[in-house]
A = this chain, B = another copy of it.
C-alpha cells in the first residue's frame, strides 16, 4: 500500500460533519492548559463516553477483543488487538480517527480519550485494583498504532514511595 493510499484512508477516518468542529476544538483547547491538563480532561471524557458504549466485557481475551471491536466497528473508530504479555495486557489500537479529527499535532494528548475508555471498561470488569491501564510511556502517538498497557503500577522509588 502506497503512502498516498494510507493518507487517503486516514483522511477518511473522520466524518465530514464534525471534522471542522473537532479541528477547531483541538486548536482552541490546546491553548487552555498544559499537556497534563489536556490529557486529564480527555481521559475523563473517555471515562464519561465509556458509560454509554454498552461494553459487555468478555471471559476470554478473544471475546474481550471481539466485544471491543463490535463497538469500534459500529462507531468507525478502528480496531483493537489485545495481546497478553509476561507483565502486562497490551492493547494495540489501529486506525483510530483521532489524527484525522484533532490533527497530528494533538496526538500527544488526544489518545488519553481512548485511555479513559479502556480504563473504565477494565475497571467495570472488576480488575485487580493494583492494575492500571495507561497509554504506553514513550508512545509518540504519531504512529498509526496507539499502545495501551494494563499492568501493575510500579512505584517509582522503593525509597521515597511515590509513584
CB nearest to A6 among chain B residues:
B1
Q: Which of A12, A14, A97 has the most CB of B within 10 A?
A: A12
Secondary structure type dominating chain A contacts: helix
Using a CB-CB cutoff of 8 Å, which residues 61-104 of chain A contact chain B? 74-79, 81, 94-95, 97, 101
CB nearest to A97 among chain B residues:
B17
A21 and B8 contact, CB distance less than 8 A: no
Closest 5 CB pairs of A and B: A24-B48, A9-B9, A24-B49, A15-B15, A18-B18
A28 at the binding interface (Cβ < 8 Å): yes
Task: Say how many copies of this protein the assembly contains.
Answer: 4
Complex Cα spacing A101 to B94, Å:
23
A-side interface residues toward B, CB under 8 Å?
Answer: 1-2, 4-6, 8-9, 12, 14-18, 20-25, 27-28, 41, 44-46, 48-49, 52-53, 74-79, 81, 94-95, 97, 101, 113, 144
Contact A78-B20, Cβ < 8 Å, known A25-B45, A41-B28:
no
Complex Cα spacing A27 to B77, Å:
21
A17 and B94 contact, CB distance less than 8 A: no
